[in-house]
């Protein structure tokens, strides 16, 4: 299933392809008849485009991993493509869906066919998923390529766009959206507003892609995962010692677990709620609010019990048990433990 924005981007690419021209440096080459349409494709590696099907020919440009292409024709081990080489091709909430005048048109050229996945490639969806997963793993390696996360994101997107009926499409859509979300999260954490206590005082991350996952795959684990990511926009920045934040966040996580009981993040949500109740117990204890402290401890025990019942083998359950033990032993959870 392809989202309306994806369909719009496909239309825009097709219109751009019909009007695309060779760079001025290639103006003396053979005239190329632009395809009205063609199989979609993407590259698994950084690949050079040439003015003709010959590695000694003049280079036109480079196509990055995961970039969107349309195949015009094939000639032995070569194919002529129109490649979208834009650096940025994401939806932006403050830009029109159809982009802006700053977007350069696709570039035409010949490239080696090896390492290029086309819509007709046998098991192409699996190959793209594997390549995307490899790039995602490299993104977590300090020695990996600087743009590995972006490459993984693009490859996952290509699975959804090129193989919309694949059983992998839902997982690919979720992973593509999650990678963008985590990149945004890291960027936003460096902003001064990240330390604001209340969420409405903090810059909100663009949730469009995650909401599209929920819309396209309702009731699935991917929708559950997307919904959990979206909680980030509701959380406080710095609690600043105020019980208001952990109290509200505990409710947010507990509500998530109730609304998404089969989510892969349900156990984590219950643990996060438990932790915040433990924090509240410490905060109220420090303020001398004994009644509120006992209420928070009781809430923490109740959440721990739910974890034991539903997720007896989860790390999050054991972590919750450890938290409640500390509360029973009057060992601080939040702040500094002074012996």
Q: Rounded to 5 degrees, what are φ and ψ at 49?
A: -100, 135
Q: Rounded to 5 degrees, what are φ and ψ at 110?
A: -100, 145
pLDDT score, position 191: 83
Given a contact cutoff of 8 angstroms between Cβ atoms, the answer to whether 29 and 118 are in contact is: no
Examine residue 20 and state whether it is found in any structural domain, yes or no: yes
CA-to-CA distance for 95 and 114, rounded, in angstroms? 36
Which pTM was predicted? 0.81
CA-to-CA distance for 40 and 35, rounded, in angstroms? 12
CA-to-CA distance for 332 and 120, rounded, in angstroms? 60
pLDDT score, position 198: 80
Examine residue 322 and state whether it is found in any structural domain, yes or no: no
The C-alpha R_g of the chain, in whole angstroms, comes to: 25
Please give the chain's pLDDT, 339 residues, in tens: 444 444 444 333 343 333 333 333 333 333 334 445 789 999 999 999 999 999 999 999 889 999 999 999 999 999 999 987 544 445 544 443 323 344 446 789 999 999 999 999 999 999 999 999 999 999 999 898 889 999 999 999 999 999 999 999 999 999 999 999 999 999 988 888 777 778 777 788 999 999 999 999 999 999 999 999 999 999 998 898 899 999 999 999 999 999 999 999 999 999 999 999 999 999 999 989 999 999 999 999 999 999 999 999 999 999 999 999 999 999 999 865 555
- The residues with which 70 forms a beta bridge, in sequence order, are 40, 82
* Side-chain-side CA neighbours of residue 135 (13 Å): 26
Examine residue 95 and state whether it is found in any structural domain, yes or no: yes
Examine residue 1 and state whether it is found in any structural domain, yes or no: yes
Examine residue 140 and state whether it is found in any structural domain, yes or no: no
Examine residue 13 and state whether it is found in any structural domain, yes or no: yes
Examine residue 43 and state whether it is found in any structural domain, yes or no: yes
pLDDT score, position 106: 75
CATH of the domain at 76: 2.30.30.40
Query: 50 in helix, strand or coil?
Result: strand
The one-character DSSP state at 114 is: T
Examine residue 4 and state whether it is found in any structural domain, yes or no: yes
Q: Which domain holds residue 22?
A: 1-119
Indicate the number of domains in the chain: 1
């Amino acid at each position: 299933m392809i989202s309306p924005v994806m369909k719009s981007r496909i239309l825009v690419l097709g219109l751009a392809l019909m009007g695309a021209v060779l760079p001025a440096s290639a103006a003396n080459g053979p005239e190329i008849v632009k395809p009205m349409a063609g199989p979609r494709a993407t590259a698994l590696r950084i690949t050079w485009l040439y003015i003709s099907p010959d590695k000694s020919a003049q280079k036109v440009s480079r196509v990055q991993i995961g970039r969107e292409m349309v195949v015009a024709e094939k000639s032995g081990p070569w194919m002529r493509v129109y490649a979208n080489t834009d650096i940025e091709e994401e939806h932006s909430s403050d830009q029109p869906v159809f982009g802006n005048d700053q977007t350069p048109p696709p570039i035409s050229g010949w490239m080696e066919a090896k390492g290029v996945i086309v819509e007709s490639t046998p098991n192409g969806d699996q190959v793209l998923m594997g390549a995307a997963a490899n790039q995602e793993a490299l993104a977590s390696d300090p020695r990996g390529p600087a743009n590995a996360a972006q490459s993984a994101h693009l490859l996952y997107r290509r699975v959804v766009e090129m193989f919309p009926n694949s059983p992998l499409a839902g997982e690919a859509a979720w992973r593509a959206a999650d990678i963008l979300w985590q990149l945004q999260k890291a960027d936003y954490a460096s902003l001064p507003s990240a330390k604001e206590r209340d969420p409405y005082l903090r810059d909100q991350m663009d949730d469009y892609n995650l909401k599209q996952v929920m819309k396209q795959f309702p009731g699935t684990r991917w929708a559950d995962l997307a919904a959990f990511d979206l909680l980030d926009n509701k959380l406080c920045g710095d609690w600043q010692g105020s019980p208001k934040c952990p109290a509200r966040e505990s409710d947010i996580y507990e509500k998530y677990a109730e609304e998404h009981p089969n989510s892969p993040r349900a156990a984590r949500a219950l643990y996060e709620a438990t932790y915040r109740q433990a924090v509240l117990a410490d905060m109220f204890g420090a303020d001398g609010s004994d009644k509120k402290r006992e209420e928070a401890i009781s809430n923490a025990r109740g959440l721990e019990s739910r974890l034991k019942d539903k997720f007896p083998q989860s790390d999050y359950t054991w972590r919750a048990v450890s938290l409640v033990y500390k509360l029973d032993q009057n060992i601080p959870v939040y702040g500094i433990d002074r012996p």
